[in-house]
Chain A
Amino acid sequence: MLKKKGWFTLLSLVLLVSVVLAGCGGNNNASSSSNAGSNGGSGNSQETKNLTFMFRGGPDEQKAYEGVVKKFEADHPNVKVKIVVTAADQYATKLKASITGNSLPDVFYFESGDLKAYVNSGVLLDLTSYIEGNSNIDLNNIWKYGVDLYRYDGTMAGQGNIYGMPKDVGPFALGYNKTMFEAAGIPLPDKDKPYTWDEFIKVAQQLTIDKDGDGKLDQFGAGFNVNWALQAFVWSNGADWIDATKTKVTIDDPKFAEALQFFADMQNKYGITPSTEQAQTLDTYQRWMKGEMAFFPVGPWDMSTFETLPFDYDLLPYPAGSTGKSATWTGSLGIGASAKTKHPEEAVELINYLTASKEGMDALVKAKVQIPNLIDMAGEWAADSSTKPANKEEFLQIVEEYGRVLPGHYTYNAEWYNLFFTDIQPVLDGKVTAAEYVKSEQPKMQKLLDKAIEQEEKSKK
């Protein structure tokens, strides 16, 4: 008896499991047979194709993207999109873990700097054939800068096949507090002619004030986070972190040291920025928002937040170093598809909808989290004077004319570049001169770059 009952339990369990499994299988069979029946026309509309889309972003951005995906589903009734959102700081870890674990979403964000590694190891779907032959996409109407970031020909990034589309381009412009200028009676900066470094210091010094006379400054000329603002000074002085072949670290160039020294001097010599101790990103960001800072970098993703500031702000070109020209970087995040996706057509369709369609772009731009990817739409957008900042044109000029990629983009990993910022504190504190620093740091960075190049060679085999 007992024995029988035991086997009965086991048997029913097996049955249950097989019924469940058969249920899933049965669905597939049904849909594929309906496919076969209607393969004459465009009639596989019966079949629901499931896509997974993984991305990250702030709350405003999340809402905007979720809305666009909903619209996409409405336009494509046979496609269902499952959204996976992750906190920004966990995104890279999660993405890389899902690659290792072979569970990559169909469509996902990725950093342009990771392009080489992902292409060499066959993670990303080659989008070229889907995009170049697509009548819905006019590549000439999308920022060349943005698309080129996701091109790779096997040796050099920036040319060749397309492995992703820019989610957006993020020109990192310089903003200024217009209200503060007016209150101090200082003539507003020219939006087409950058300050020289000397002029910039002079204006900033006039705006660095101890208002209540307690011996503590409560209004500052500027606040720059070294990680994101030093580039503007180095590049406009004609120097760079890496040479044209992307194999040599060039920070030991005297022009580089000069720019870095100027950056440190803003605090130590000219006293126009909060002390380094106080200059964590959050603090300068808070100060700017409280109206205690004259100049502060502004990215398009900040527009929705800055819209409600109690003062008026606008954009101007970064102060120019010895080249006489402004410089800054343009960020970007790509949207790519998994090389293993079961529905490449639909995956690419979703990518296009998010990056290159009028409907998608319209919703995202209205949410004020980015500038339009479509050039004609961007022109209209910049001309609209009803939204802040007035000189939105500056954003477009950066993308079209003088914005650059961050130096880590072209190399297999950015470890060498990150080390520069890990060790920089003594320079900012004025304890080490820029000239000494670049000399001692160059070999360390070169060693890591050599390692990255070696890694890249191996990954191609």
Chain B
Amino acid sequence: MNQKSNLYRKEKIYGFLFILPPLLGLLIFTLYPMIYSIYGSFTDWDGLGQMNLVGLSNFKDLWTDELFHKALFNTLFMMLGIPIGIVLALLLALGLNRGVPGTTAFRVIYYVPVISSLAAVSIMWNWAYNGDYGLVNQFLDLFGISGPNWMANKYTVKPALIIMAVWKGVGYTMLLYLAALQSVSRSYYEAAELDGAGSFKAFWHITWPMVRPVTFFIIVTNIIGGSQIFTEMNIMTPTGGPEYASASVVFYIWQKAFGNFQMGYASAMAVVLGAFIFVVTLIQFRMNEKQSFDVD
């Protein structure tokens, strides 16, 4: 009896020791900074000296800050890439799922951008988008189209970034879809065929509902990731692009915090962004619950 409880206690200690590192990591690197920045958002902290509480004034300023509104709009606009990426990835996955020859090669080709460093990818696309000797415009030249200088034009800079983001993300999404497709039982399709359903009907009534959990996962993670988009614009348009047309919220936060000594104000923006992500994700989970109910 005594022996057993000692063993139990010992395992408990070991168990605790094993989860301690990630737990500490969470506390030190996530929870603590989060609480610190929430506190910071109510102060005029410049990132160097002391913090004075200023109430809600940072949040009030955000209401009238044109650049913040611009950055917010840009961030939302660039999320247009999410549905485009989903459709493309699903089409690719459907294609590869048919067992065309060279499937493995294609999977590798589509997945390479995913594992490449975002910084390297950004530099590469920056060359491709160059107005004079960029690959993109040289390609357009073949069709007699003289392309714009993508990164220096406020109308093309956002689409250019979207195209790049889609290219970068499509392999990962495709792989998820491919896994989901392969877990759909053949018997459903056989039954559908017997009932005389065409391939579109089979897709709409079997495939699409069956991969819905994956779609949900992709949308949620993409929106969270898309809200925090930063590296691309930091490298490709280091000043925020023509007329700030490619600055994202995180980019603006970074500029305020590290360029202009306004850590408090930047914290307020971070809090707003965090709340936005939280609410949007919450809504998605609610909607997902409702829909699951409907389908069943």
Measured CB to CB, the residues of A under 8 A from B are: 2-3, 6, 89, 92-93, 96-97, 99-100, 117-118, 120-123, 227, 276-278, 280, 282-283, 412-415, 418, 421-423, 425-426, 444, 452, 455, 458-459
- Of A3, A6, A99, A426, the contact of B47 (CB 8 Å cutoff): A99
Q: Which of B222-270 contact A (CB under 8 A)?
A: 234-235, 238-240, 242-244, 254, 257-263
Q: How far, in angstroms, from A418 to B247 measured CA to CA in the complex?
A: 14
Known: A6-B10, A277-B153, A283-B132. A421 touches B239 (CB 8 A): yes
CB pair B48–A121 under 8 Å, yes or no, is yes
**Interface residues in B175-223 (C-beta closer than 8 Å to A):** none
Please measure, in the bound complex, the distance between the C-alpha atom of A276 and the C-alpha atom of B130, giving whole angstroms. Answer: 13
Q: Smallest Cβ distance from B87 to chain A, in angstroms?
A: 32
**Could you say which residues of chain B place their CB within 8 Å of the CB of A421?**
239
Within the complex, which residue of B49, B131, B152, B244 is in contact with A121, where a contact is CB–CB below 8 Å? B49
Cα A458 to Cα B48 with chains together (Å)? 12
Asked whether, in the complex, the Cβ of A413 is within 8 Å of the Cβ of B149, the reply is no
> Given the known A-B contacts A123-B48, A425-B242, A458-B52, are A412 and B261 also in contact in the complex, defined by CB atoms under 8 Å?
yes
In the complex, are the beta carbons of A459 and B243 less than 8 A apart? Answer: no
Contact mask B117-132 → A, CB, 8 Å, 1/0? 0000000000000111
Please name the residue on chain B nearest to A5 by beta carbon. B10
Residues of B within 8 A of A96 (CB): 47-48, 257-258
Q: Is the interface of A mostly helix, strand, loop or mixed?
A: helix
Q: Does B154 belong to the interface (CB within 8 Å)?
A: yes
Interface size of B by CB at 8 A reads 36
B151 at the interface (CB under 8 A from A): yes
Which of A227, A418, A425 is within 8 Å of B243, CB to CB?
Answer: A425
Chain A residues, Cβ within 8 Å of B263: 100
Tally of A-B Cβ pairs under 8 angstroms:
88
Alpha-carbon gap, A99 to B132, bound state (A): 42
Within residues 28 to 74 of chain B, which ones have a CB less than 8 A from any CB in chain A? 44, 46-49, 52, 66-67
How far, in Å, is A119 (CB) from chain B's closest CB? 10
- The interface residues of chain A lying within 8 Å CB-to-CB of B6 are 2-3
Closest to A120 in B: B49
Instruction: List the A side residues contacting B113 at CB < 8 Å.
Output: none
Contact A89 B149 (CB under 8 A): no
Identity of the chain B residue whose Cβ is nearest the Cβ of A227 in the assembled complex: B239
Most B CB contacts (10 A, CB to CB) among A2, A96, A120 go to A96
**Contact between B261 and A2, CB atoms less than 8 A apart:** no
B70's nearest neighbour on chain A, judged by CB, is A422
B252 to chain A, nearest CB (A): 11
CB-CB < 8 A to B261: which residues of A?
Answer: 117, 412-413, 455
Closest to B61 in A: A451
Q: A423 with B151: in contact, given A415-B260, A455-B261 (CB under 8 Å)?
A: no
B46/A117 in contact, CB under 8 A: yes
**Nearest CB of A to B120, in Å:** 13
A324 to chain B, nearest CB (A): 33
Q: How distant is the Cα of A89 from the Cα of B66 in the complex, in angstroms?
A: 25
- Contacts A3-B10, A413-B261; is A422 near B48 (CB within 8 Å)? no
Is B159 an interface residue, CB under 8 A from the partner?
A: no
Most A CB within 10 A of own CB, among B47, B238, B260, B262: B260
Cβ contacts under 8 Å, A89 to chain B: 234-235, 238
Q: Which of A2, A444, A455 contacts B10 (CB 8 A)?
A: A2
The docked-state distance in angstroms from the alpha carbon of A6 to that of B6 is 11
In the complex, B91 has a CB within 8 A of chain A:
no
Using Cβ atoms and an 8 Å threshold, which residues of chain A touch B259?
92, 413-415, 418
- Minimum Cβ distance to chain B for residue A409 (Å): 14
When distances are taken between beta carbons in the complex, the residues of chain B under 8 Å from A423 are 243-244
A280 touches B149 (CB 8 A): yes
A278-B132 in contact (CB<8A):
yes
B7 sits at the interface (CB 8 A): yes
Give A196 to B48 CA distance when docked, in angstroms: 47
Closest to A421 in B: B239
Q: Given A3-B6, A3-B10, A415-B260, A277 and B243 touching (CB < 8 A)?
A: no
Question: Which residues of B have CB within 8 Å of A121?
Answer: 46, 48-49
Q: How far is the CA of A120 from the CA of B148 in the complex (A)?
A: 47
- Listed from nearest, the 3 A-B pairs whose CB atoms lie closest are A121-B48, A121-B49, A413-B260
A422 near B47 with CB under 8 A, answer no
State whether A117 touches B48 (Cβ < 8 A).
Answer: yes
Whether B7 contacts A2 by the Cβ 8 Å rule is yes
B152 touches A280 (CB 8 A): yes
- A97 to B254, alpha carbons, bound, how many Å? 11
Chain B residues closer than 8 Å to A6, beta-carbon distance: 10
Additional A-B contact list (9), CB under 8 Å, known A89-B234, A280-B131, A413-B262? A2-B6, A6-B10, A117-B46, A117-B48, A280-B149, A422-B243, A422-B244, A444-B66, A459-B48
- Name the distance in Å between A337's Cβ and chain B's nearest Cβ: 16
Shortest CB-to-CB span from B181 to chain A, Å, is 41
Q: List 14 A-B contacts (CB under 8 A).
A: A2-B7, A96-B257, A97-B258, A117-B261, A121-B49, A123-B48, A227-B239, A277-B149, A280-B131, A412-B261, A414-B259, A421-B239, A444-B66, A455-B44
Contact B52 A93 (CB under 8 A): no
A277–B10 CB distance below 8 A = no
- Report how far A422 CA is from B238 CA in the complex, Å: 11
